[in-house]
A and B are shown apart, each in its own frame.
Chain A
């Protein structure tokens, strides 16, 4: 069972240098264990409860963690029911002894004491996975989210209270590296070279944990309602606590449903933006992580999304695409990019080019002029439903002006210094919709005259 993390208590003779193990008092098993699993950092905080039998005064205890991926520098002990009365004074990693430490515990109480031991391990990971199903009319979405946990830590965790953490943690060292480091805190550092110095640092172990494919098992219980996941925020993190306990033996994975919402109103939008996507139109799906969209209880963790579309007949599905979603805070708009949309096309065509309004200096040299470009955006919608489309145009020139025919219904919106955006709806089966505009670029002296021109960029 718990082959690896073992605790022995013994009293020391108090002899110099070595701690003689003379009296093995008890071998406590763990009463309870809690796993807090992070992502994407390979880090799990393990807190286990054990009952130790302590005598008043100094107690020595041995902890060993052979064949695990535990970071020995992260091990702490607390006695929640005897705060201030049971203290871990020292942790000692003896010479020539690997994967073992001696703890010196000072106790003011006698008898059985419940202690909590916490440490980090690597090798347990989790990730979020989404299944999204668009309704036939693309007006609503069925969104399912699952949490998947994999245990490659070398340790079996049976009946563990399990929590997974959504958030981006700041780590200085990888736990997997610390777990391999011997001695646990590394070797002393030579701050400046002495003549006969041979102080070398332990070479960093480059070996990575090989990712193994693991089988996935669903909740142990068959025919019982799926487990609830309790969600709450703390600091910059969101905690998903899985109801009850879970057993995750070493080498196993487990998938638990975390969210299942139907009829989420969504907006499908097509977007053309050469800077971001090149010349292909993208299909995007928008909804907000809020109550109006039957969401908003928790942030949505980043993870993989597979999107299907419900077909009208016999509940058949068609595959739309897959994507990696960002983390979405409560209240923020979700943007799923479903990828290239061939049926909706945007083609910017330069129809005419001329230069005008030349200015000359006192020596007769050209000091300014306007470059006038006549653009036509050729839009096509081959779908059988109307589509909403956004077109971004980068002007790449800070001094410009856009004009268009007065009867044109579509106006642009200025995004920043040199970016404009058009937004319009294309009816179904639009073979060709032309959106013309005139772009004037001001060169040289004409740049300072531009404030005189109406409709000018500021």
Chain B
């Protein structure tokens, strides 16, 4: 497992003399030390490694060998950029020798000089994960967030002191040996305001909890906005596993649960599911259904069109000592019209409405709504 770069010089005159003959590649004695290695982690689809090296070139055509035995480099991704002096050298071509993990650049230099180059390539079997640890206060109003990057290097390449660059913020300097996994904390944001929600999706959850043997668990999540007012908003929050803890008021923490945070751009809300509540109990019933507004065919023998009136009732009981903010998602038919509803609702899409209901501590709220399903055909 080694990365070797070697340079062979072909004196211009020799090339001239033996232009027709094939010449052997000569591996050079000097092994250029690499400098300023940066591993770019901004695109989770592939890891880009950029390294800078000084090459001593002769006047004329130089052959620079770059080999990576045992290292998971994607050969087509390797690039060479001359940083300085610019315009004094030209890369003629790149060739790939058979059965070798290597390539050869032919570089023409106008004179004997030292040039600074950057070699970039994509590496396989190395990646990064983002994980978060969040601690909420006992009242569940604010949250402290720490983000970690987990580097997993099985690429075959040892990375001595290297800068790791996420898409934002400062680079992290660390060493990462081949076969090593490393977790590095890279930002902390404290006292971020959060709001807690309960979500009852009537299309997913059982309507009558008494009819089933286990408790119906209502999913609970926190929401925080990735905005500067909330102490964030400087950067996108990458997707990753979040482990949530709560202060227990005795100097210890309780593990609340974990969730996979979705990629959250600046200004967007981050939703973190913590678990299920069994202290909010919701019972839903269809109270009645009536056919109305029947229309008949020309012979008036058959009903060809009718409307269906339905009356719904949702009992929401909160057994907690704190009020619960419940989002009630109700499925709707394709063509419908609301007649009356006990609480305001918003139309999420054609076939779903949402009631946002605050159920006070130890109380029960009953939501009712009547709608007409239009233009049914028998």
Contacts and interface: CB of A to CB of B under 8 A. Distances in A.
A458 B152 CA distance: 65
A398 B301 CA distance: 23
B182 A95 contact: no
B215 interface: yes
B148 to A, nearest CB: 9
Given A189-B127, A417-B287, A234 B273 contact: no
Nearest to A19: B175
Interface stretch (B10-18, B22-30, B63-71, B249-257): B249-257
Interface string A353-383: 0000000011101010000000000000000
B182 A93 contact: yes
A172 B174 contact: no
A17 interface: yes
Contacts of B291: 447-448
A95 B259 contact: no
Contacts of B288: 417, 457-458
Nearest to A241: B250
A12 to B, nearest CB: 10
Given A89-B184, A95-B180, A80 B253 contact: no
A118 B290 CA distance: 60
A170 B278 contact: no
Interface in A1-48: 16-18, 34, 36, 38, 43, 45, 47
B300 A170 contact: no
A302 B184 contact: no
A408 to B, nearest CB: 25
A170 B362 contact: no
B287 A416 contact: yes
Contact of B214 (A90, A189, A326, A445): A326
B140 A398 contact: no
Contact of B125 (A90, A167, A199): A199
A53 B74 CA distance: 46
A210 interface: no
Contacts of A417: 285-289
A165 interface: yes
Contacts of B124: 188, 190, 194, 197, 199
Contacts, number: 196
A407 to B, nearest CB: 29
A19 to B, nearest CB: 9
A92 interface: yes
B178 interface: yes
Interface stretch (B82-90, B106-114, B240-248): B240-248
B150 interface: yes
Interface string A387-420: 0000000000010000000000000000111000
Contact of A96 (B179, B254, B256): B179
Interface in B253-299: 253-260, 273-279, 281, 285-292, 294, 299
A17 B255 CA distance: 35
A191 interface: yes
Contacts of A183: 152, 154, 179, 181
Nearest to A172: B258
Contacts of B220: 236
Contacts of B160: 16-17
A362 B274 CA distance: 63
A224 to B, nearest CB: 24
B74 A194 contact: yes
B75 to A, nearest CB: 8
Contacts of B161: 16
A120 B255 contact: yes
B254 A89 contact: no
A267 B18 CA distance: 108
A450 B210 CA distance: 31
B357 interface: no
Nearest to A273: B211
Interface stretch (A255-263, A327-335, A339-347): A327-335
Contact of A74 (B46, B126, B243, B294): B243
B133 interface: yes
A235 B180 contact: no
Interface string A186-207: 1111111010010100000000
Given A170-B273, A327-B215, A94 B180 contact: yes
B325 interface: no
Given A276-B211, A398-B289, A448-B294, A329 B278 contact: yes
Contact of A172 (B125, B177, B260, B301): B260
A90 B184 contact: yes
A192 B178 contact: no
A457 B309 CA distance: 13
A330 B183 CA distance: 42
A172 B131 CA distance: 13
Interface in B93-146: 124-127, 129, 131, 133, 136, 138, 140
B210 A458 contact: no
Contact of B182 (A92, A187, A448): A92
Contacts of B300: 361-362
Nearest to B125: A188
Contacts of A169: 255-257, 274-275
A187 B152 contact: yes
Given A90-B182, A331-B319, A416-B285, A118 B279 contact: no
Given A17-B177, A234-B248, A329 B279 contact: yes
A299 interface: yes
B241 to A, nearest CB: 6
B253 A47 contact: yes
A117 interface: no
B158 interface: yes
Contact of A76 (B74, B133, B241, B290): B133
Interface in A79-120: 80, 87-96, 118, 120
A38 B127 CA distance: 33
Closest 9 CB pairs of A and B: A95-B179, A329-B319, A188-B127, A458-B288, A170-B257, A361-B301, A93-B181, A16-B160, A168-B276
Given A171-B257, A329-B279, 11 more contacts: A36-B255, A74-B243, A118-B253, A120-B255, A168-B215, A170-B274, A183-B154, A188-B124, A326-B278, A361-B302, A448-B294
6 contacts: A43-B255, A93-B180, A168-B276, A188-B125, A188-B155, A236-B275
